[in-house]
Structure 1
Amino acid sequence: MTTLAVPKLFFDGSVIDVLWDNHEEAIRWYRQYMSWEVGQQESWKPDPRCTQGRMTRLNWGTWLISSLSSVRLPHHYAERGTVESNIRLCWRTRNLKRLHSHYSSSGVRVSNIYKGPGNTTYFDFWATCEGIRFTAQEDQRIQQDEGFVPSWIRLGVSDLTQSIEWYCTYLGMQVENEWSKDGYAVMSLYLNHQPDHKSLWVLEPLTEGAYIGKVDGAVQPVCWVAGREDFFNYQTFLSGSGIETSEIGGFLTKGLVSFHIYDPDGNRLNFSSM
């Protein structure tokens, strides 16, 4: 097996799958509780089989996507009413306890505050009426007026050593730090539109009793393939390597195309190109 079949991947932000009827309410929620603003809005269909589509860009490359279709799409979907994904999209903030108290008193569902990777504290919170999970992380270096600043993506895995090898082999990730004594590893990909910067991904042990298996959660990190031909070849390479891939969705002749795979523990990863 050769890693030459793996193109250079860039982290391109995250897609939040939102039900069509909840799209406007979701925008209001993120404005109210995370002080995010709308950067771009499009009546865009993620796939030609959609009858309608909406796409809203919020802060830090986070896109809310909603669509209507009469058929099940091969890629653009999330399952609801099932188990929680083991992917945590983390956001750093200055005063975690104050934020936790504010959310609790405002009726936002939150977890207890807990210690996590990086020797810092976290809590999970569930956004919008759909209960979409995000994770807040304390970082006292953040200025008070900065609000939420991107952090790393945490991925729960059952075998740290094997997962490190898998992410290096099939996504071309690099190991930034391997804190074996603390039981987690920090991996990296470059950032799209900021090639001199990196996105960080934490591989950490699954919590006891956590579900292991494919989960199509609403929060979906996206990796970008710059070359369109490289994108199609990459999907073929992954499939030929025994990795389950979705069919390619989107506009196959010209336009945005996407597919997804699952890591050995069922964490879903999206890939796109133009």
Structure 2
Amino acid sequence: MNKPYFQFDGGFIMVPYDRFEEGVEWYRKHMGWALIDTVTGPVGRKAFFRLPGGGQANLKSFEMDLEHFNQRDYEEGNCRFCFRTANLEETVNYFGEHDIECSKPVQLPDGTLTADIQAFAGVRMTLCEDRASEGQHPEARVIRYAAKPLWLGVRDLEASVAWYEHVLGLERSETDYSDQGFALLRDRKDHWDYVWLQQLASCSPVVKANPGARLYFLVDGREDFLETQRWLKQQDIETTEPVGERWTGYHFYDPDGNRLNVWNYY
């Protein structure tokens, strides 16, 4: 097949099955998200929230008998799924007042302030400040996906850029951040900058991630979806088998153990 096209398409935030209702209420209350619906199906429980600034957030229950959805060897690793907040200081203060753990803010190379929070059941979510959104959604702490929603740590920046160009078909951004230990990658079709790669110490261990906040790529078309999984195997890339309603999800790993998820709606 031709090189597949992977398109960013949101993701899942995982919650324990037996605490699902508690998790739904936690995200409704603390994030300020409006619940659209909840469903229970062949692969467990899901809840859908309308994000105040546009888009949809999806909660999904862990399912221990399905490799793609299980909680075994839970590990955040170096995968960050990033969300947007209007005022990071105010948001961090709110979470602190509600005993929700937050990291100290750090700045990305483009000047964006970020902080990790420990969301429901210990899931790490990364918040990125967007002051242009301040005042637009005062009832919400987290308003939509970040402008650059994927942030991954890698041991060899240049080798990883080449890997992501070959496997995901991404392109390097026109702005060079290598002197700061970062590379910014973009979608090859619409030239949207959305993936940060961050240089880790070269001696860092490879940790196979199984995080709670999971960004997904869409492969459109059922046959293309299945063929893409086979193509990855032909590149000697470890993948899981598709699972879900009509085989709608699987994941694979980059050379540094970062987990990349794929789904399809058909």
Q: TM-score, normalised by structure 2?
A: 0.86
Aligned to 1:50: none
> Which of 132, 144, 151 is the aligned partner of 1:149?
144
* Corresponding letter in the other structure for 1:168: E
Aligned residue runs from structure 1 range 1-274, under 5 A: 5-46=2-43, 53-58=44-49, 59=51, 60-66=55-61, 68=63, 72-79=65-72, 82-128=74-120, 130-146=121-137, 147=140, 148-151=143-146, 152=148, 153-176=150-173, 177-189=175-187, 198=192, 200-206=194-200, 211-251=205-245, 255-273=246-264, 274=266
1:223: how far off? 0.8
* Corresponding letter in the other structure for 1:180: S
Partner Cα separation in structure 1 for residue 202 and residue 36 of structure 2: 40
* Corresponding letter in the other structure for 1:21: D
Query: CA 1:29 to 1:211, structure 2 compared with 1: closer, same or farther past 3 Å?
Result: farther
- The percent of aligned pairs where both chains have the same amino acid is 31
Contact 1:83 1:211 in 2 (8 A): no
Instruction: For residue 68 of structure 2, give the secondary structure of its aligned residue in structure 1.
Output: coil
Instruction: For residue 26 of structure 1, give the secondary structure of its aligned residue in structure 2.
Output: helix
* Corresponding letter in the other structure for 1:171: L
Query: CA 1:209 to 1:138, structure 2 compared with 1: closer, same or farther past 3 Å?
Result: farther
1:63: how far off? 1.3
Instruction: State the Cα deviation string for residues 168-224 of structure 1 (Å, max 9, x = none).
Output: 11111122233112221221238xxxx968471111123798652211111111111
Partner Cα separation in structure 1 for residue 100 and residue 181 of structure 2: 31
Partner Cα separation in structure 1 for residue 76 and residue 201 of structure 2: 12
Runs of 4+ in 1 over 3 A off after TM superposition: 195-199, 207-211
5+ residue gaps in structure 2? none
More strand by share: 1
Instruction: State the Cα deviation string for residues 17-73 of structure 1 (Å, max 9, x = none).
Output: 211111111111111211011123222223xxxxxx21111233321111556xx31
5+ residue gaps in structure 1? 47-52
Instruction: For residue 237 of structure 1, give the secondary structure of its aligned residue in structure 2.
Output: helix
Could you tell which deviates more after superposition, 143-152 or 226-235? 143-152
Could you tell which deviates more after superposition, 181-190 or 130-139? 181-190
* Corresponding letter in the other structure for 1:149: R
Partner Cα separation in structure 1 for residue 130 and residue 187 of structure 2: 22
Query: CA 1:242 to 1:256, structure 2 compared with 1: closer, same or farther past 3 Å?
Result: closer
Query: CA 1:207 to 1:40, structure 2 compared with 1: closer, same or farther past 3 Å?
Result: farther
Partner Cα separation in structure 1 for residue 35 and residue 170 of structure 2: 31
